[in-house]
Chain A
Amino acid sequence: MDEPSPTTDPLTNQFGSLNDLAHDLASLQDLAMRGSWRSILDQVSRARSLALLSNPHDHLIYLSYNVLALTKLRRFTDASADLDSLHDFSSNHYKYESYPQLYPSRSGSMVPFSLRFIHAQLPFKLGNRQQGLDRFYLLLSFIRQKIEQKGSNSFQESAKIWRKRENFVLHCLIGHHLGAKEFNVCLDLIRDLIDHDYLDPVLISKLGYIQMQVGDIVGAKGSFHRVEAMLNEGYSSLSEVEFRNLVNRNKALVYLVGKDYVSAVREYEECIERDHTDVVAVNNKALCLMYLRDLSDSIKVLENSLERVPTVALNETLVINLCSMYELAYVNHSETKRTLSNWIGRVAPDDFDASCTRV
Chain B
Amino acid sequence: MSSAPQGTHSLAFRVMRLCKPSFHVDPPFRLDLADLCVGEDVFDDPLAAANLPPLLSTQLSKSTDSSDLTYGNRFLLHHPSDAMGFSGLLLLPQSFGAIYLGETFCSYISINNNSNFEVRDIIIKAEIQTERQRILLLDTTKSPVESIRAGGRYDFIVEHDVKELGAHTLICTALYVDNDGERKYLPQFFKFAVANPLSVRTKVRTVKETTYLEACIENHTKTNLYMDQVEFEPAPHWSATVLKADELHPADNSSTREVFKAPILIRSGGGIHNYLYQLKLASPDSAQMKVEGTNILGKLQITWRTNLGEPGRLQTQQILGTPISRKEIELQILEIPSLINLDKSFLVHLNLTNHTDRELGPFEVWLSQNSVHGEKNVVINGFQTMVLPQVGAFGSSDFHLNLIATKLGVQKISGITVSDTREKKTFDPLADVEIFVESD
Contacts and interface: CB of A to CB of B under 8 A. Distances in A.
Please indicate whether A and B come from the same complex rather than being unrelated chains. Answer: yes
B247 interface: no
A52 interface: no
19 contacts: A18-B37, A33-B71, A72-B75, A110-B41, A112-B40, A157-B43, A171-B82, A175-B84, A178-B25, A202-B80, A203-B80, A207-B259, A214-B263, A226-B259, A253-B88, A287-B92, A324-B94, A329-B110, A331-B12
Given A200-B80, A214-B263, A293-B108, A150 B153 contact: no
A107 B44 contact: yes
Given A71-B29, A223-B259, A317-B89, A158 B44 contact: yes
A5 to B, nearest CB: 5
A194 B259 contact: yes
Given A178-B84, A283-B89, A215 B226 contact: yes
Nearest to A321: B92
A126 interface: no
A330 interface: yes
Contact of A280 (B26, B32, B75, B89): B89
A215 B309 contact: yes
A112 B39 contact: yes
Interface string B1-44: 00000000000101010101111111101011011111111111
The winner among B32, B72, B224, B260 for most chain A CB atoms within 10 A is: B260
Nearest to B253: A195
A186 B65 CA distance: 32
A121 B265 CA distance: 28
A178 B22 CA distance: 13
B108 A290 contact: yes
B26 to A, nearest CB: 7
Interface in A34-68: 34-35, 57, 60-61, 64-65, 68
A34 B63 CA distance: 10
Contacts of A175: 25-27, 83-86
Contacts of A287: 21, 90, 92
B64 to A, nearest CB: 10
A21 B384 CA distance: 111
Interface string B204-236: 000000000000000000011110100000000
Nearest to A350: B71
Interface of A: 2, 5, 7-8, 13-18, 21-22, 25, 29, 32-35, 57, 60-61, 64-65, 68, 71-72, 94, 96, 105-114, 116-118, 121, 124, 150, 153, 155-158, 160-161, 164-165, 167-168, 171-172, 174-176, 178-179, 181, 183-184, 187, 191, 194-195, 200, 202-207, 209-219, 222-223, 226, 238, 249, 253, 256-257, 277, 279-280, 283-284, 287, 290-291, 293, 295-296, 309-312, 315, 317-318, 320-321, 324-325, 327-332, 349, 351
Contacts of A249: 88
Contacts of A320: 91-92, 94
A25 to B, nearest CB: 6
Contact of B71 (A35, A68, A165): A35
Contacts of B155: 293, 295
Contact of B31 (A17, A21, A117, A194): A117
B387 interface: no
A105 B53 CA distance: 18
Interface of B: 12, 14, 16, 18, 20-27, 29, 31-32, 34-45, 47-55, 58-59, 62-63, 66, 69-75, 77, 79-92, 94, 108, 110, 112, 114, 153, 155-157, 223-226, 228, 253, 255-256, 258-263, 265, 268, 304-310
A32 B75 contact: yes
A79 to B, nearest CB: 9
B40 A310 contact: no
B249 to A, nearest CB: 9
B53 A157 contact: yes
A110 B39 contact: yes
A90 to B, nearest CB: 11
Nearest to B92: A324
A32 B76 CA distance: 10
Contacts of B35: 112-114, 117, 165
Contacts of A315: 89
Nearest to A150: B44
A309 B31 contact: no
Q: Which residue of B22, B42, B43, B72 has the most chain A CB atoms within 10 A of its CB atom?
A: B42
A238 B90 CA distance: 22
B109 to A, nearest CB: 9
A111 B55 contact: no
Given A108-B44, A194-B256, A287-B21, 14 more contacts: A5-B55, A15-B55, A18-B59, A33-B71, A64-B36, A112-B40, A121-B27, A155-B43, A155-B44, A183-B265, A213-B22, A214-B305, A223-B259, A324-B16
B226 A164 contact: no
A172 B86 CA distance: 10
B23 A168 contact: no
Nearest to A184: B265
B89 A171 contact: no
B230 to A, nearest CB: 14
Contact of A206 (B75, B84, B310): B84
Nearest to A238: B79
Contacts of B72: 32-33
B88 A161 contact: no
Contacts of A332: 114
Most buried by B among A176, A209, A279: A209
Contacts of B70: 33-34, 311
A330 B41 contact: no
Contact of B66 (A29, A210, A309): A309
Contacts of A172: 27, 83-84
Contact of B81 (A65, A179, A206): A206
Contact of A14 (B23, B47, B260): B47
A95 to B, nearest CB: 9
A8 B51 CA distance: 8
A219 B261 contact: yes
Contacts of B54: 5
A124 B27 contact: yes
A37 to B, nearest CB: 9
